[in-house]
Structure 1
């Protein structure tokens, strides 16, 4: 992702939430260089530093897909759960395309309803966790708090598929993720 796109996503996220957003970007042209930018209303702070080595491998493998996300207009003022997810996607420095894949996936799974329940399988919440109690690892309020469910769902997607478009591609080919 180029830094201009990341800048636009973070500024959009800060504008939606009225809060502070931070993003760190690895510089592909200068290996070992990290750029951090923090935005809050009326201020931009930038910092650059060099690292000798990354402390650990984040992903050993990721899913890639050519599946196109369903383009859907997002109205951040009206859909709080999507707004929460957009902010968390931006914090991970994922692109808007990744958010569109996440939107397609979770619209199909739960229609972004944090109380969605599948009586035949027992799956629950926005990410349709199965068993639902797995989300308690992120917070004890998982039954009623969409932020807890979204955090758990993003952590699950990142660990299993690398990014939301990988999960969406797997869902489209297997009808589950």
Structure 2
């Protein structure tokens, strides 16, 4: 029995009972108060009866306070769980964002590298083309002769065509005229080292184009550079098409 408002014991298990329904609690208390001596049928029922007895030990005026404290404790536990879940979600989002940023930076770095390599390649190609356009000797520097041998014409070409482009240049002349600066195509009228058609095209390089192979070489080099970029590019086209 309770004496006044004295509380003999309150346990944590009583808090759990306080959150149960009032009917269950009252029924358990009545069962104890009636002097029932029967044993619970199992451990769960025994625990429920014990918890109900502990709640019964709490003065009636304080039972509501105990129930409120239990609910507050439950709410606090749920809030902590919610905070933990939110923290995990935030951490996962942060990891995902960091991974995406790392991939984006890697892609940007690769794109920048490829762009730099392409620009360097273009600059190098521009230098090569510029070098191919700058003849080491002008046609006007050769003294006129009444006739020229193949060796003399080839020597002229070597001094006028950049060394890195000479072999390609020579390949085209070999196929077009075999280095004969007076070669004429009987059917078309194409003329000279490069079989220009019409033959008068050579005049843009000099009025003496019919008798001076250096003038023809100057015209042929300018033609290859302006139309294909270099003698080697012209030779590549010739190999694919057998004309240029």
TM-score bracket for this pair, using the shorter chain length: 0.5 to 0.7
The CA deviation at 1:175 is 1.0
Secondary structure of 2:183's counterpart equals: coil
- Larger strand share, 1 or 2: 1
Would you tell me which structure has more helix in proportion to its own residues?
Answer: 2
Query: Could you tell me which residue of structure 1 aligns to residue 167 of structure 2?
Result: 100
How many residue pairs get aligned? The number is 101
User: Using a 3 Å threshold, how does the CA distance of structure 1 residues 78 and 135 change in structure 2: closer, same or farther?
Assistant: closer
4+ runs deviating over 3 angstroms: none
Residue in structure 1 matched with residue 219 of structure 2 by the alignment: 152
Gaps of 5+ in 1: 1-27, 32-57, 60-76
Query: Aligned equivalents of 1:166 and 1:134: distance in 2?
Result: 21
**In the aligned structure 2, how far is the partner of 1:158 from the partner of 1:134?**
15
Q: Does 1:114 align with 2:181?
A: yes
Aligned to 1:88: 160
Contact (CA 8 Å) 2:224, 2:231: kept in 1 or not? Answer: yes
1:86 deviates by 0.7
* Length-normalised TM-score, structure 2: 0.39
> Aligned pair in 2 of structure 1 residues 151, 78: CA closer, same or farther (>3 Å)?
closer
Q: Any unmatched runs of 5+ in structure 2?
A: 1-119, 124-128, 131-148
Q: CA RMSD in A?
A: 2.4
Give CA-to-partner distance per residue, 1:71-101, whole Å, 9 cap, x none: xxxxxx97011111110113xxx51xx2111
State the Cα distance separating 1:137 from its structure 2 match. Answer: 1.1
**Aligned pairs for 1:3-18 within 5 A:** none
> Mapping of 1:1-177 within 5 angstroms?
79-90=151-162, 94-95=163-164, 98-177=165-244
Identify which of structures 1 and 2 has the higher relative contact order when contacts are C-alpha pairs closer than 8 Å and 6+ apart.
Answer: 1
Q: Which has the larger radius of gyration?
A: 2
TM-score normalised over the length of structure 1: 0.53
**Aligned equivalents of 1:139, 1:164: Cα separation in 2:** 20
Cα pair distance change 1:163/1:78, threshold 3 Å: same
Query: Within 1, Cα distance between the matches of 2:194 and 2:158?
Result: 14
